[in-house]
Each structure stands twice: as structure tokens, then as C-alpha cells.
Structure 1
Amino acid sequence: MKKNVFIFLMFLSSVLVIAQKTVSGKITDEDGIAIPSASVTVEEPGKDAILAYGITNSKGEYKVSFTSAESNVDLKVKAFNQKPLTKQISNSDQTLSFKMESEATEIKEVQLKTRMITSRGDTISYDLKAFDSKNDRTLADVMKKIPGIEVNTDGTILYQGNAINKFYVNGKDLMEGAYGTINSSLPKDAVQKVEVLENHQPINILRDKVPSDQAAINIKLKNSVTMTGRGEVGVGMDPFLWNVKLTPMFFGQKSQWVVNYKTNNVGEQVENEGNFLGGFSPWEGRKSNTSQNDWLNVETASVPNLPIKRYLMNSVHYLSANYLTNMDKKKEWELKANASYTNNTVEREDNIETIYQAGDFAGSKIVTSTRNRFFTDKLKGELIFTKNAKKGFFKNTTSFSQFWNADRALATRQGRIGDESVESPTSSFQNSLSTIIPWKEKMINFRSYINYQDDRQTLQVSPANYLQIPYKLPKTNENDPDQFGTINFLPGTNAIQSFRLKTLDTSHTANISFSTKGWTFTPQVGLDFSSDKLDTNFEGVTVSGTPNFNGSEYENNLRFTEVNPNVSLGINYKSDTWSLFANLPVNFNNIKAEDDLRRVSKSLNKTTFTPNFFAQYSFASFWKASLNGSISNNFGDIKSAYAGYMLLSPAGFNVMDPDNPIPQINTKSVGSRIEYRNPLNNLFFNVNYSLSDSKRNLLSAPILDPTTGFTLIQYREQDNHSTSNRFAAEVGKYFPKFKTNASITYNNTTTKADAFLNNDQFENKNNAQSYGFKINNTYFEWMSFDYNMSISRTKQDSRGGTLGINNGYNHNLAVFFYPIENHTVGFNWDQLNTKNGNNKYNNAFYDVSYQFSWAKKKIDFELKWMNIANRRVFETFNLNGQLNALEYTRIQLRPSQVMFTVKFNFK
């Protein structure tokens, strides 16, 4: 592994060394007047390939960096109404200025041609028409085909393998990171082009001072004022099916809004469109998806590695509204209001055979089956005030969320049946404030974050004797070996685990920034404080309400507090070729965990230095190379401190030894990346390598009872390590002559971790490799297709032997035929295969569709038959490294269904 890191860094260094060739100068006409917008290209003699290019600024100045092994290169200059010139120059750093001769440009015929991909500075523009097919209707349909851009299944947009930091429409950030709704519902016909803003710093006052390594997406519409949107109404049968999508949108110069209502029972997970997908820099404050502290859970059926539409048994209603308006004439102040409501019911069912492979219980088999119903009822509101000007920044985000969720399960384990339920109401309030104030040549930044959350959960299992769970008996002498017993409940008893957690998190920082000659230094002071109050109880109660089992060892009354004063120094540098930033924080960690009932009294006072850095070098117009590294510390949370037994799941109790210290996890990581993006020949690729090492002082030591299938999770004080190294590469190329976009990906990840089970210490090692290939083609007038394929191989070693090798093959083929104008016939094929030893399972799914387009009204009528083969069960083998077991799983899928849908644009 170290050898691989050394070779990669040597390669990176060699690239940087040979890239130090820069030509700069000034282009003028015969009278010495500067010529702006002249193109300057560097090419190898005798080869029709551009090494690098540049565009002169308003002063006629240019600067081009390139890499070549040739001793000489050709420098070519072109400008409108000027005679082109070519000069052969040496392959060295130099300054060259040119005077161009006037030459009238004769235009014989006017032909307007738009390049598919153009680049200017840090902005790459894609002409959407160059990549769409006749069957595409929305922005997301086309976005998936653009070279260098990926759209994940959760809606996250990646550029060159990294998530974007902003999603704009006509330069405005309406969605605040929850851009899935616009991407999936904005008609492609409303879009002029998609712009990628590389190294995008979203805060205007920080541009050219604090660099960014992330890109943003700006959707440029055809009209500055656009009323548009997308709608669908679909019905089906056996049983009655519905799918309704109504998403009107308005994008104006002063205001923007999107209203979205979607409901279906056909397996589309529309409620996740409102999820926060990223887009907040630390300078803007904090924002994340609000979620419950899900401590208590019913036993949950597995989900297959399939497109979610194949197995999601749902009935969902999702309503959201997003509004943005400018509050002043300069359009610096913005008000945003966002609200959403989700009501969803999901059903799920599986059957699992777990076969233990090693240790004392090798050959033992546990059979379980689970049927679930999950109920989600969630309301969220958000109000945001923003000023983003060159002379100041202000942002305040206030949000409120309320959950009324509930889960149900009917579980069967080794012949025993348990009826399980969890009720989990949650209230959450957050406020994030950040402001940057210019003061002479300096900037002062204040940030404040407050989060309060109240979680209440109740887990009930009936009958209680379903829980044949091992638990540790009290010791009469500390030197006695561990002894375990089983709880004996009276007939007709229900087991009830109650839980309440009140959480308060606050963070306040102040800093001042000094800038000089491209450098920005930012000393900062801060104070982080968090407080968690945990109350739990477990008891057995008869149907009449009489307790027949309880004990103080099943109670918790724990308070966990963290106080972290901190100081740091931020260092940033920005130039034409270099972007680097580093943060050097010192944290004074003070942690306490106290529970008099459980004799818990733990504390930790430790000073830590947790630096992180990032450096990026841009060269030869198309290349970027970067290095990053960090050291971090994590001291656990309230989940690592409770000492009373808790039934977090009917599968087993969890408990922490009160004598164990507060967990300490120290992680060191380093990574490198080389990126190439050339819009002139439509080629994009990136190579990444990362390495991380984590050291812990506590080791999970679960105790397995193979006769019942239940597990007692506990921990022991013992230093242990986990390491991970990952290599990834991606190459994408668009072939305009064939209207084809293709990409290849490769990932190799190896992880090692110490483990402990049933008094047997061992090491888990996991190696996962995957190969991916993607291609789409719109060359033929009568056909278009998309094909995605991935091959995976996972090998797990445990207890000194190989637990198993799991091979997988997945592909998706979508073909559309256009036999007659406005008529489309579609075919979709999902194939998912798994293999482990002699066990092999092939899962194939087929869909067909017919669509008629009423072109004049822009309305589509679609008839679709999904899962033609009516495959009802998904079969696969999985490897469980923690339990040293093979799991044969059968999961219920959606049956065959037929849908008729009308699709339309709002304008």
C-alpha cells in the first residue's frame, strides 16, 4: 500500500515538474491598440491537437500554460478582422507580444453554429440540444448524458466525481441545496445551456481571497422571465394504481418560485426530492437534513440492490413550496421561504437464512422473516434572509421540523413470532447565522448556530417471551468469569422500552481576515457546547397493565455534556494556477458523562490539534492536480456512555460498561487527485487515491446466541485500528460525429478492522472492486439508447480465513425506437446477478412502453407495462463479516403492473 502511494505521488510530482511552461504577453493591432477576445493556442508541430489555449482580456493580455515533450511548439493567434499568425517557439517559459495585421473578414454565408461545449475562464458551458434525445423531457434526462457530469440515484449531481456546492437557475439559488425537484421537473425545452462554474466561491466578498475546490451548476434559461413546469397524471390496475406529479415553476428577474405536489403508489420515492443535497460552505453557517435520533427500531426487512421502483411498496403524498424574492433595488438582499409536508406508508417483507461459517458455532443456521409497515408523517418549514454583496455578507436560516413517525413489524425467528411497534414523535428547531463585515482592508466574520431537538420513542414487543435474549448476570466478585442468563417473562406479557432524548447543540465563532498579495490569513476563536439528556426504561407489562418485570439495571438517567473552546488559523492563497487553503485548529475538549443511578461518572479533558489542508495546481489549460490531508478526533457521544441495558432492537440488548473510558477515535487521512477536462475535444477524466487510518480505544465485543439468533452488543477497553485505502478512476468522452457519450469507471477499496466476537479476537479484511461502463447514443433518427453496466467483486477475510467472495453483475438497458413521427416504443431491461461459490442468482426485469406525442400541445400519452415477467422475489447471497456468516436472502418485490399516463408542460 505504501508503495502504491509512493508511485502515485511520484507520478503526480513528475506531472507538476514538466508542466512548468508558461507563455504570456500582449496582442495588439498595427497601431498598438489592444485586441481583446483573441484566441491563443499552443500546438505540437505537425499535429492537429491543441495542447492549451487562452483568450486575451480587455487589455489584450494572455497567459497560456502547457505541457509537451517536444523541444519546440507552435503558437497560433486568431482574432476577428486580423490576419492569423503562427510562430514556432521553444518549449520554455517566456514572454511574447505580437502585433497583428489588419485583414477584413469576408463572410460569404452566415451559418449559426453553437459549440456543444465551450470554455471561458472557470466556466464550461454545455449546449443542451447537443446531448438530448427524442424521448428526453426534463433537465435530469439530459444532464445524465453530459460528459463530466453524473446524477446519482438520490439526485446528487457530481462534476468530475465530486458533489457540486451550488445549483443556480439564472444565477439564483432558489432551492438552497434541495435542487432535486427542479432537476427532475424542469422541461428541457426551457433551458438554453448548462454552465459548470469550476472552483466556485459562492460568497462574493470572498472571491479571489478564499478559494474553493468545488464546482457549481448554473441553469441558463432561454428567457429571463419563464413560466414553466412539468405535470403527469397516471392510473393503473391490479390493484388500483396512481401516479400524479404537478410542478409549476416561475423564474423571474426579481422572484422565483416552485410549487410541487406528487403522490403515487407505484414505487417512486418522490419525497426525497426535498432532501438537502449539499451547498453550504462553512462561511455560510450550517445546514443539514433534519432527521430523528433513531435509537429504537423494530426488526427491519432487507432491501435489494435494485432500482427502488422494483421493490418499494408505498403510498406517498409529498407537497413542497419554495419562494425567493429580492428585497432591494440592487438585488443584494434575498428572502427565501421553503416548506414541505410528507405523508408516506411503506411495506416491506423478507426471509433470511443465516449460516455461521467459523468459530464455536460453525454450521449453525438461523431462519428469520420480517414483515414491516413504516409510517412517515413530517412537516418542515424554513425561512432564510441573505445578503451576498461584494462589500458584505449576511445569512440567517431558521428551520422547524416535526415528525409523527411510527414503525410496525411482524417478525418470525426460529418458530417464535413477535409483534413489534415503535412510536417516535420528534420536534426540532435550528437557527444558523453568519455575517461578514468589511473593515478597512480586513473582514470580520461572526457565526452562530443553535439546534434543539426532542426525541421520544417507545418500542413494544408482544409477546415478551419472543425476546429470548442473553444478558450479563451481576458478578459477586470482580474476578469471576462472565455469566449470562435469559429473561423469563410471564405469559401474556408485553415488553416495553421507553426512550427520551433532549439535545441542545450550540456553536459560536468569530474571526478576522487579512489579505495581501493573494494570501488571506484568518485567525478565529470559537466555543462549541452540547448537552444531551437521556431517560430510558425497560419493563414487562401484562395485558391488564401490571408490571411483572423491571429492574434498575434497565434504566438510564444520563447527562452527557461537551464544552469545546477552540482557536484556529486559516490560511488561503489564490492565484491563476494555485489554490490552497489550510486550517490549523486547536481544540480544548471537556466532556462529562454522569448517571448516578448507573454509577456512571466519566470525564475527559484533552487538547487536540486537528489540521487539514488542500492544495490545487492548474496547468496546461486542461489539467488540475491536488493534494489534501487531515487529522481528526472524535470522542464519542451519548450512545457510547449509557450503562443501563437498552433494547434498541428486538434482536438484542446494547450496553456500555460504566468502567470503560470515554471513546477516543483518532483518524488520519491523505488523498491526491489528477483531473483533466478538455472541452475542445470533449474529453474528461480524473484519478483519485485516498488513505485513512483510525485508532480507537474501545472495541465492539458482541455475544452471539446461535440457538435463538439474538445478540448482546457490548464493548471492551482495547486499542484497535481500522484502515482504508481507495483508488478510483473515471474517463468520459463525447463523440460528436456519432452523437455518443461514453464513460468508464474503476474503484478499488480495501478496509481492515480489528473485531471481537464470543471471546475470540480477529481481523476483518474487506476488498471491494468495481468496474463501470456507461454509454448513450442519439445518432440514429429512428433509435436512441442508454446502457449502464457494473461488475463488482467483494472478498472478505475473517478469523484468519476467507469468509467468502461475492461477485455481482448489474446492467440497465433503455432503448427507444421512433418508427413514425411522434410515436415512441421503449424497452427497458434491468439485470442483477450475484454469485458466491456455487450459489448463483440471476434477477432480470423487463418493461415495455408506447408513447404518442401531441407535438402541437406538447402532451405525451404513455402506456407502460412494468415487470413483464412478474418476478415477485429477489434472491441473493450476502457476507456478514461481523458475525462471520453467509446470509441467503429472499425479498418481496413489486408485481407486474400496467400504467396509462398523460404528461405535459405547464407552458
Structure 2
Amino acid sequence: MLKLFNLFAFLLLLSVPPLTYCQESTKKITVIDGETTQALEGVICKLYTAEGDLIDYLLSSKTGEIYIELGDTPAYLIFSYLGFENQTVQYPNLLALKEIRLTAKPIEMDEIVIKTQAITQVGDTINYSITPFKSKEDRYLKDVLAKLPGLTINANGGISYQGKTINRFYMEGLDLLGNQYTIATTNLPIDAVQSIQLIENNQHIKALKDIEFSDKAAINIKFKADYKQKPFGELQAAIGGTPFLVQSKAFATAINKNNQTLATIKTDQTGIAIERETREQLDYNDLFSFEPPPPLYLNKATIQQIPMDEKRYAFNKSYLATLNHLKKLSKDASIRFKLDATNNHQKQASYYVSDYDLMDGQLLSLKEERHLAIKTTRIGASTTYEKNSESTYVKNEIKASVNWDTSREYLRSNDAAFHNKTRQTSAIVQHRFSYIFGKKDHNYTVDAFIKFINQPEHIYLASTRNPSEQAFDNQKIVNNHLLFKAQIAKIVPLYANPLTLKLAFYYNNDELKTQLNLQHIPDSIHPYQSLFHANTQLKQYTAAFTAHYTYYYKKGSMSLVFPFIYQQHTAAQRNMWVNRNSGNFLFTPSLMLTYNINQMWKLNATINYSESLSQLDQYFQGMIKTTYRNFNLYTDLPSRNKLMHYRIDFEHHNLVHALFFTCSVSYQPSRSNSLEVVDYRTDYTLTSRKKKQVKSGQFSIQGRISKLATALKTTFALHSSFDYGKNNIGQQEIVFANYSNKWGLGFEVYNKMFDWLSIQYLASDTTLWESNVYRTTAKLHNITQQISVALVAIPYLQIKINGEHNYNVIDDSKSYQNFFIDMSASYTFNRTEFTLVAQNLVNNKEYSFTSYQGLNSSLLRIPIRGRSILIGATVRF
């Protein structure tokens, strides 16, 4: 703790300049309309050297104020605003000025052509014009979002700005979809979109504006006028082979002033993971919106993910249906309904060669051939009432979902054959209520959250080691989870800055029942037979008092958070009539600092200290068979984990040059008093925990720079990352430190220099290696290159060629690579588009790559989808 506050003091001295310094080094200028004397917001002030080189640019605030750093010593400044004459001010004359008066400039409409700027900013809102980024091959909103400098989209559809996930996705200022906005980015036709707004420092709750500030941004989609007058959407159908393929979609949405509706029905057999469109983009920092679900104890069967577009190797039959509706009840109140259902069938064959070091000079080598079939079904529904006014905020949300996951697997491992069937189900109901009221000087918050989960799991395993010997094993698990949270908070002013006082209560009630039946019990598993049937209940009572103070100064803010927590645990091993009671005090302070170096550069620094106590799985005494050969032994070994988190972020955006840059450096040392130990045997693997003080750490550097070159009509993006981790591995009762390294580099180019031609190029290189006292692995490179060329051969006819190259290092002497070529053609007639798509024309059939984990390695080979052709049509309305 002493180190934490020493570092806090050091950062404070570096980042908070004395008030007298700010006053002497900064000049405030107010920009007004020379005729009406009204303040002008969004006036651009450019600072130049004597040679005419741009030093910096600034934007005026809502009150027309611009703060100019005198230390920059520009030769002259130019103030510009649309509809007004530019005004140039020499630097020596600036010191005597208090305001700049701009003169209105008449525009001769028949003699001037007005070109819309690609990126503009007014206050905290950045406006991206669609035209400079949209190419003729772009169909949906996500196609353009991926090209916008400053924005990134991850594999699951989540949007980030300058490295931070957005906190809201609006359409015409309304939050129709909540955190399931991927359904819109994937299906909204880009032709309907007028512009994309990015709202920096978005505070959604109006009652907290100017009280509680956010460092996250929001996206707002602005639609063209004619698309707001009536419903619009599209109907799509396509068939092809081989094998027989079907792809279809019906999408419709209506964007009105007081109502919004979005509905989708989709099917797919081409490998596209359409069920991801309904996944929630969760804010893991909002404790009253997100709560981690209880763990799954059986190894959930999933399709093996590889660094390649999933549609190349996933064999699927997928179905999706969603309905979203929002109705405005008044100026500030609305009610929202959501219903979604997905059904996904997937198949995959895979071939593994895995080597495990037994730490006695021997090597266990497993050759596995897997044939997996998975069926995943989900039905979810929610209703949300929200009143968001300047004085009051009310949110009442009810969510429910049911998930069914079943898998069938045929597996050959060395000389044995296995048939494995797994079923995992979860039923979830949760209710969240929030009420915020009061005035700026005295603001109150009441939160309540309750969640119930029923999560049964079952595995049935049939194994054959020789024609005369068969075994039938099964594992049953029932996990019930009840959580209740309540919080009361008050915001009061302290030295003209907000002090938030929170009092929170938590109640957890978890019960885990397990039943393991083995037909043939390995000799070394016999001593644990009493743990095959187990029943454990854990109750947790938590009370927390938190003081959160934010100090705002001219260049930024500093936040101190002091949580004082008491937790009471009661664990009951019902099969053994053993009870355990323990109480723990926790103190987990944190410091957050923001410093605006200038209007283009911003520094964020965070220091967190956290402690986590054992959950149900570490109070549980039992044995679980998780796969055909893996056993997990739980031995009632509570632990206490401690974590420090240091993070510094640099953010830069220069709209004059359409340049965005972000860099993040973080370090997370942690300590724990227990360690997972894995014991590999010829017939099975046993995982358990042992009491041991261990230390680990993670270091990470991530950076991204993106720029729009307007003259070249090109967007560039370069991103790089390095992750270094130290963790302790327990293998065959031997504990050693393992160091993992991951270096990544990526490059993206989107070019549309000509209206009839557009080019996209993506390249990435990920390098992995590990080291410990026993060995240092080879550096494994996974390199992917993708190029896409789209051209308009004749009016309404578009041809697109995609190429992909993958190169993987397998070991010191081997590498594997493959090439893919896809082609598509589309012809548009009125509102109908006819398409022809041919994929994997060179007919690559396999993908291979190697992975390391400590002393163990695995070589994986996966079949690739063969050559296919798809013919279809899309009707837009």
C-alpha cells in the first residue's frame, strides 16, 4: 500500500501544475460574432510558425472560449468559421486582446462549390461524413465503421474509440438496442446513413451531467431524411454448393421521431457466425449492469478458433430472429422491448498431436482425431423503462434468457475410441432498478439488482479400449446462483468538486451438487471415491462503504476512490457435515488522473489495488470428470488474491490532419496463496490446487495510429502490441515460473482514389514464444495478408476479387502456408441486386498451426471448407 501512495504522489507532482503557472502560461480569447456579439462554438484556431508550418489547432467552447498556450510562441494565428471571414492575428498583438470578432462573409451560391469535410468537430461531437469513406462495394454500416480513423471493431462486433469501448450506440439520439448493437452495424444499409457522430466523454444520464464525467464515447447514427419517412430494409436469398448451401435474410427497420423498430430473420450455411449479432457488448466496469456468471465445470465443447476468417473453416447451419422496439412515452421517457432467438449447428473435424512433459525424462504423446457436432440454442427477452430528464433518472429493466448447449463427439486417442455427449443448460432471470434524483449540489442514487441462474450440466461418456472392454461414465452437475445487490449514493460538493458517498449491500447464495459415476476407476483415483457425490452451499454477505472524490482543474481531473469492504462467508459441505465461517475486511483504493496536454494530446493514468476472495469452486470438495480423460479435484482450499494495476494512456487526435493516435502501457503484478497443479498420466489428467504463495505479472504495450489522407482518398491504420507475462506452472508436482511473450503488428489500408476502383489491404503478424528453466521455445510467426480489389466494369456491374495468404511457423525447421482466392460479381437493376460468389477457388483443404503452454506443445490440423459457389438476389425497399 505504501508503494501505491508513493506512486500517487509522484504522478500528482508531475501532472498537476501549480495554479500560478497555468495563469501565466495560458491566454484566454473569446470568439464572438462581430454583428450579434454572440459567442461562437467550434471556431478553429490554427497556430503557425513564421515559415507557415502548422503547430497546433484549437476549438472554441460553447461559451466561445479558446485557451492558447503562450509557450508555443507561434508567429501568427488564423481563426476560421464557416460563413465568416478568416481573421489573422500576429502573435505579439495577441497578448493585448481579450476577444476576437469575426465578420460574416456572404456566399455567392452560383459561384461556389461547397465540399463537406470528411471529419469535423463541434464541442465534444466528432462528425464523420459518409461520402469520403464509402466505396461502391460497401453494403452495411460495419463496412464503413471499419474505415473510420480512431474507431476499431473487434471480432465480436464491439466498437472502440481510441482503445476504449463505447458506452452507448444511438440511432437518431435514441438507444433502441442497448448493448446488442451489433445487429444494427451488421444489417443497417449504409445507403440509409447520412453521417456518423462520435460523442466524446458521453454522459448518458442527464441528471449527472456536470456532476459525474465519463471518459468513454458514444456512437450516434444520423439517417437520410427519406429513410426516416417510412420503413426500409431488404430481402435476401441465395443457394449454392458444394455441399448444398442456403443463405437468406429478411431485415426491416423504421426510424421515426417517437418510435423505432428493428426486426431480422436470418439463416446461413456458409460459415458466417450470425449468432454473434445478438451478443451483448458488456461494460465490465458497471457492477449494476454486469455480473460474471458462475463457472461451467465441464469443458464446453466449442469449434477450434484459428487466426483466419471463420467462414473458411466453420461448417454450420445457423438461424437467427430478433425484434426490437422502442417507444417514446414523453419527451424524457421511453420503453424498450427486445426479443431474440438463435439456433446454431456446427461441425468440425480436427487432428491434434500433443506432447506433455512428465518431468522424469519421459514424454506423453497424444494423437487425437476429433469429430465434433454442436447445437446451441438461445432465447432471450427484455423490457426496459427509462426516464432521463435533467432532474430525475429512472431505469427499470427485466431480462430473461434460456440457453441449451449440446455436443456429440467421436474421438480416437492413441488406441482408444470414445463417444462423448455433453449437455449444458442455463436459465437466467435478472432485474435491475436505478433511481437518481436531486440537484447538482445534492444528488442521490438508489440501485437494486437481483439475478437468479439455474445451470445444470451433464456428460455421458462411452469408451472402447479393445473389443471386449467398454466403459460407460457420466457426470451430473447442478449449479444454482442467487445474487442481490443494493446501493445508496449521495453526491455532495466539497471545495466546488463532487464527493460521492456510497453504501452498498450484497448477498450471494450459491449451491453446487455433483454426481460422478465411473464404471472403471483408475487406481490413483480410488482414494477420492468419497468425493464423487458432493453438495456444497456458499453464502456471502457483503457491506461496502465507498468515498469517491473528483478534483477538477483547468487541464483535467483527479479521482480518488476509497472502498471499505467487509465480507462474511459461510460454506457448508453437506455431504460431510462440515461448516466454515470467515469474515474479511478489504480496502481497495484507486487513483485516476487525466491531464489535457493541449487540445490534441491527452494523458490518462490509473492505479488500482484490488483483492478477491474465494468463490464457490474453492470452497467445494468434490471430483468432476470434465472430458474423456480430465479429472478436476476440488479440496476446500480458499484463497485470497491481490492485484495491482498500473496503466498510462496517451491519446491524440488532430482533425486538421485527420490523424488519431493512442498508446497504452499497463503492468499488473499479482499474488495468490494457492496454485493449480496438473498431473499428466497415460490414461488420464488430474488437476488440483495446492497451498502455495505465488507471484505473477503481466506487462502490456498497445498502440494504434490511423489517418485519413484526403488527397489520396485513403485511410491508413497501423497497430502494434507487446504482451509479456510471468506465471507459475505446477506440473507433475513441480512448480516453476514460465515467461510468455506475444508481439503483434498490423497494417490496414482502405483506398478509393477512383470511383470505379477501391482497394483494401490488411496484414498482421503475431509472434509467440515462451521460456522457463527447462526450455525456450521457437518463435512462432502467424502471418496473415488479405487484399480486396473491387471495380465497376460497366454501370451497375461490380466485380470483386479477394486474396488471402497465411503463413505459420510450426517449429524450428517447418512452416505451413496456404493461399485463398475468392471472386464475386453483382449486378444492380432498380432495387434488386443479383450476386454470384465463388470461394476458395484454389481449393485449399487444410490449415495447421502450433501452440505452446509451458512445457507442453500441440500441433493442430483443421480441414478447410472446399470450393463453393453461391447465387442469390437481394431486394431493397
- TM-score in terms of structure 1 length: 0.89
Q: Distance in 1 between matches of 2:534 and 2:440?
A: 55
Note the C-alpha offset of 1:642: 2.0
Q: Distance in 2 between matches of 1:123 and 1:302?
A: 41
Note the C-alpha offset of 1:261: 0.7
Residue 313, structure 1, aligned to residue 315, structure 2? yes
Residue 801 of structure 1 is aligned with which of 770, 775, 788? Answer: 775
Q: Who is 1:97 aligned against?
A: 98
Structure 1 residues 89 and 879: CA distance shift in structure 2, 3 A: same
Residue 861 of structure 1 is aligned with which of 828, 834, 842? Answer: 834
Contact 1:540 1:549 in 2 (8 A): no
Residue 614 of structure 1 is aligned with which of 592, 596, 602? Answer: 592
- The aligned runs of 1:17-96 (5 Å cut-off) are 21-27=25-31, 33-34=37-38, 36-37=40-41, 38-49=43-54, 51-55=56-60, 57=62, 61-66=64-69, 71-78=73-80, 84-89=86-91, 96=97
Structure 1 residues 529 and 393: CA distance shift in structure 2, 3 A: same
Amino acid at match of 2:383: L
- The aligned runs of 1:509-658 (5 Å cut-off) are 509-515=487-493, 519-540=497-518, 551-574=529-552, 577-598=555-576, 600-658=578-636
Amino acid at match of 2:784: N
Q: Which moved more, 1:778-787 or 1:497-506?
A: 778-787
Contact 2:57 2:656 in 1 (8 A): no
Contact 2:528 2:623 in 1 (8 A): no
- The aligned runs of 1:249-288 (5 Å cut-off) are 249-278=253-282, 282=286, 285-287=288-290
Q: Distance in 2 between matches of 1:465 and 1:385?
A: 59
Q: Distance in 2 between matches of 1:164 and 1:362?
A: 51
Residue 898, structure 1, aligned to residue 865, structure 2? no
Structure 1 residues 358 and 779: CA distance shift in structure 2, 3 A: farther
Amino acid at match of 2:65: Y
Q: Who is 1:229 aligned against?
A: 233
Contact 1:652 1:712 in 2 (8 A): yes
Q: Who is 1:821 aligned against?
A: 795
Contact 1:124 1:679 in 2 (8 A): no
Residue 685 of structure 1 is aligned with which of 661, 679, 685? Answer: 661
Residue 844, structure 1, aligned to residue 819, structure 2? yes
Contact 2:416 2:464 in 1 (8 A): no
Q: Who is 1:880 aligned against?
A: 853
Q: Distance in 1 between matches of 2:155 and 2:249?
A: 19
Structure 1 unaligned segments of length 5 or more: list them: 467-488, 543-547
Structure 1 residues 278 and 129: CA distance shift in structure 2, 3 A: farther
Note the C-alpha offset of 1:603: 3.7
Note the C-alpha offset of 1:288: 6.6
Contact 1:396 1:431 in 2 (8 A): yes
Q: Distance in 2 between matches of 1:627 and 1:898?
A: 52
Q: Distance in 1 between matches of 2:250 and 2:277?
A: 13
SS of match in other structure, 1:309:
helix
Q: CA RMSD in A?
A: 3.0
Amino acid at match of 1:860: E
Note the C-alpha offset of 1:104: 5.8
Residue 218, structure 1, aligned to residue 192, structure 2? no
Note the C-alpha offset of 1:602: 3.6
Contact 2:62 2:123 in 1 (8 A): no
- The aligned runs of 1:83-482 (5 Å cut-off) are 84-89=86-91, 96-98=97-99, 100=101, 105=106, 107=108, 109-223=111-225, 224-278=228-282, 282=286, 285-287=288-290, 293-297=295-299, 302-328=304-330, 331-356=331-356, 359-438=359-438, 441-463=441-463
SS of match in other structure, 2:711:
helix
Note the C-alpha offset of 1:369: 1.6
In the TM superposition, what whole-angstrom CA distance separates every residue of 1:290-325 from its partner, at most 9, and x where no partner exists? x78532236666332211111111111111111100
SS of match in other structure, 2:91:
strand
Q: Which moved more, 1:26-35 or 1:163-172?
A: 26-35
Contact 1:19 1:620 in 2 (8 A): no
Note the C-alpha offset of 1:715: 0.9
Q: Distance in 2 between matches of 1:121 and 1:832?
A: 44
Structure 1 residues 713 and 886: CA distance shift in structure 2, 3 A: same
Structure 1 residues 798 and 248: CA distance shift in structure 2, 3 A: same
Q: Distance in 1 between matches of 2:822 and 2:93?
A: 58
Amino acid at match of 1:214: K
Q: Who is 1:784 aligned against?
A: 758
Q: Who is 1:833 aligned against?
A: 807
Contact 2:675 2:730 in 1 (8 A): yes
SS of match in other structure, 1:112:
coil
Q: Distance in 1 between matches of 2:402 and 2:839?
A: 36
Residue 735, structure 1, aligned to residue 717, structure 2? no
Structure 2 unaligned segments of length 5 or more: list them: 521-525
Q: Which moved more, 1:331-340 or 1:607-616?
A: 607-616
Residue 676 of structure 2 is aligned with which of 689, 700, 704? Answer: 700
In the TM superposition, what whole-angstrom CA distance separates every residue of 1:236-290 from its partner, at most 9, and x where no partner exists? 122211011211011111010100111111111111101111368749x31479x
Q: Distance in 2 between matches of 1:507 and 1:215?
A: 27
Contact 2:301 2:374 in 1 (8 A): no
Contact 2:653 2:660 in 1 (8 A): yes
Q: Distance in 1 between matches of 2:820 and 2:563?
A: 53
Q: Which moved more, 1:647-656 or 1:136-145?
A: 647-656
Q: Which moved more, 1:515-524 or 1:407-416?
A: 515-524
Note the C-alpha offset of 1:888: 1.3
Contact 2:211 2:440 in 1 (8 A): no
- TM-score in terms of structure 2 length: 0.92
Q: Distance in 1 between matches of 2:756 and 2:442?
A: 62
Note the C-alpha offset of 1:148: 0.9
SS of match in other structure, 2:147:
coil
Q: Distance in 1 between matches of 2:700 and 2:96?
A: 42
Structure 1 residues 84 and 878: CA distance shift in structure 2, 3 A: closer
Residue 755, structure 1, aligned to residue 760, structure 2? no
Structure 1 residues 28 and 296: CA distance shift in structure 2, 3 A: closer
Q: Distance in 2 between matches of 1:80 and 1:345?
A: 56
Q: Distance in 1 between matches of 2:652 and 2:164?
A: 14
Structure 1 residues 68 and 52: CA distance shift in structure 2, 3 A: farther
In the TM superposition, what whole-angstrom CA distance separates every residue of 1:816-873 from its partner, at most 9, and x where no partner exists? 122212111111122221113112111322211111122x32x221111111122222
Amino acid at match of 1:417: A
Structure 1 residues 30 and 897: CA distance shift in structure 2, 3 A: closer
Structure 1 residues 620 and 540: CA distance shift in structure 2, 3 A: closer
SS of match in other structure, 2:183:
helix
Q: Who is 1:480 aligned against?
A: none
Structure 1 residues 302 and 87: CA distance shift in structure 2, 3 A: closer
Contact 1:247 1:260 in 2 (8 A): yes
Note the C-alpha offset of 1:65: 3.9
Q: Distance in 1 between matches of 2:105 and 2:750?
A: 43
Contact 2:46 2:54 in 1 (8 A): no
Structure 1 residues 103 and 409: CA distance shift in structure 2, 3 A: closer
Contact 1:185 1:230 in 2 (8 A): no
Q: Distance in 2 between matches of 1:106 and 1:233?
A: 50
In the TM superposition, what whole-angstrom CA distance separates every residue of 1:597-632 from its partner, at most 9, and x where no partner exists? 246544432111112232222242211111012111
Structure 1 residues 101 and 371: CA distance shift in structure 2, 3 A: closer
Q: Who is 2:523 aligned against?
A: none
Identity of matched residues, % = 21
Q: Distance in 2 between matches of 1:414 and 1:91?
A: 85
Structure 1 residues 113 and 371: CA distance shift in structure 2, 3 A: same
Alignment: residue pair count: 858
